[in-house]
A and B are shown apart, each in its own frame.
Chain A
Amino acid sequence: MSFIDTLRSRWQEYRRPGYYENFDYAWTMTIDLDSCTGCGACVTACQAENNIPLVGEEELARGREMHWIRIERYWEGEFPNAKLNFIPMLCQHCDAAPCETVCPVSATYHNQDGLNAQVYNRCVGTRSCAVYCPYEVRYFNYYNHEWPSPLDQQLNPDVTVREKGVMEKCTFCIQRIRQAKDAAKDDGRRRVLDGEVQPACVQTCASQAMVFGNRNDSQSEVFKSMNDPRAYHVLEEVNTAPSVVYLKKVEVNG
């Protein structure tokens, strides 16, 4: 009898969509497009923090740029009245991520922090995740990148240097999240406090357009920010349930 009950409860557990009843943390980022100036500091910060290679002019021309966060530029209108809109685009850490289901070797999966994790060691390089990603934020190592001296001296020891044939993408600076969690544990706290952890891009943003935090915590800044009336998801119609929330730019005089 108890065996059957165990079996039934296990079955129900494994049949639950998304598996996690609720995440320990649900890391979320909001980006206020009203404040974003499109300066590109976040791109540089990310490049430095996460050992992202500089591909060089030639490879860039071939469309093999590598940056986990990019500033998308959209022009509106014709020349005299042209307007420029920016939108920083990074991995949206979707809760229903198309990229996760397609990986045949489980190299990308959802962890209990609600992050879309990428295991470089496990990746075989089918590149299907990049095809399945509607946001185009997965970047592939087309060859082994080199850091000419003295650039190799500034590689971040907390982050792997990826080899050729491996897919990589924004991790929400998982190494910083880990450190914050470890520190919280050392202090005997159960949870990381709001504002204790910031990815490199958020830390760098001069106009403080980006807010990062745990949306499970209703006192957190990010929770307030994502409940702003201007909040929206990019490509909401694809139903990916992203963890990055954008705040719409407000036009004053149209």
Chain B
Amino acid sequence: MATNALGLFNAPSSALEAAGALKGAGFDSPTVISPIPIHGIDEVLGKKKSIIKRFTFFGALFGGIAGFALAAGTAVMYIHATGGRPIIAIPPFLIITYELTILCGILATVLGFILGSRLPAFKNRVYVPEVAVDKFAVTVLCEDPERLKRAHDILQSSGAEEIREVEGEQ
């Protein structure tokens, strides 16, 4: 299993500083683990492209088409004329369409979130319980002892309170 250097910080600003320094020193993907979302992390680690919006959009689109198809299709499959309305009555079916658009949009967003954030985690990943309370961790994968030493130095110079070596996937 791979070894990771992990530095604990008590402030988001110093964690960001360390992450930036690690990135500058050639570590390709330092991970910041924090109890709250950190503002301005995009400037340090680069903007993240999220696929969720595509999921939401196409999910909603699918839902809209499926909704109208459900209402119109089932009405045609077993014909019941009601109340002098046409079999395919547009205004009521638009309401079904609307609801299913939203339902499928929501479900697709969840799917996008699950896939995009690589959850649920089945393997052991780098984690220390302190980050769920008030500590900010910066961790980076180190293939060999030499890189581990360099990561250690960078974390320390950025003001890490504590530096650990943690086994696990990033």
Binding site for B on A (CB under 8 A): 10-11, 13-20, 94-101, 103, 106, 108-110, 241
Partner of B84, one of A14, A103, A241: A241
A19-B81 contact given A14-B76, A14-B88, CB 8 Å threshold: yes
A101 B82 Cβ-Cβ under 8 A: yes
Kindly state whether residue B79 has any CB partner on chain A within 8 Å.
Answer: yes
Q: List 29 A-B contacts (CB under 8 A).
A: A10-B76, A11-B88, A13-B87, A14-B72, A14-B76, A14-B86, A14-B87, A15-B86, A15-B88, A17-B84, A17-B85, A18-B85, A18-B86, A19-B81, A94-B84, A95-B84, A96-B83, A96-B84, A99-B83, A101-B82, A101-B83, A106-B80, A109-B81, A109-B82, A110-B80, A110-B82, A110-B83, A110-B84, A241-B84
On whether the beta carbons of A20 and B81 are closer than 8 Å, the reply is yes
Q: Is the interface of B mostly helix, strand, loop or mixed?
A: loop
Q: Mark B57-99, 1 if CB is under 8 A from A, else 0.
A: 0000000000000001001100111111111100000000000
Within the complex, what minimum Cβ distance (angstroms) separates A21 from chain B?
Answer: 11
B65 to chain A, nearest CB (A): 16
Q: Classify chain B: how many residues form its interface, as a range.
A: 10 to 19
Could you tell me which B residues sit within 8 Å of A by CB distance? 72, 75-76, 79-88
Within the complex, the shortest CB–CB distance from B34 to chain A, in Å, comes to 49
Cβ B83 vs Cβ A100 within 8 A: yes
- How far in angstroms is the closest Cβ of chain B from A85? 30
- B contact residues around A100 at 8 Å (CB): 82-83
Which residues from chain A contact B85 at a C-beta distance below 8 Å?
A: 17-18, 101
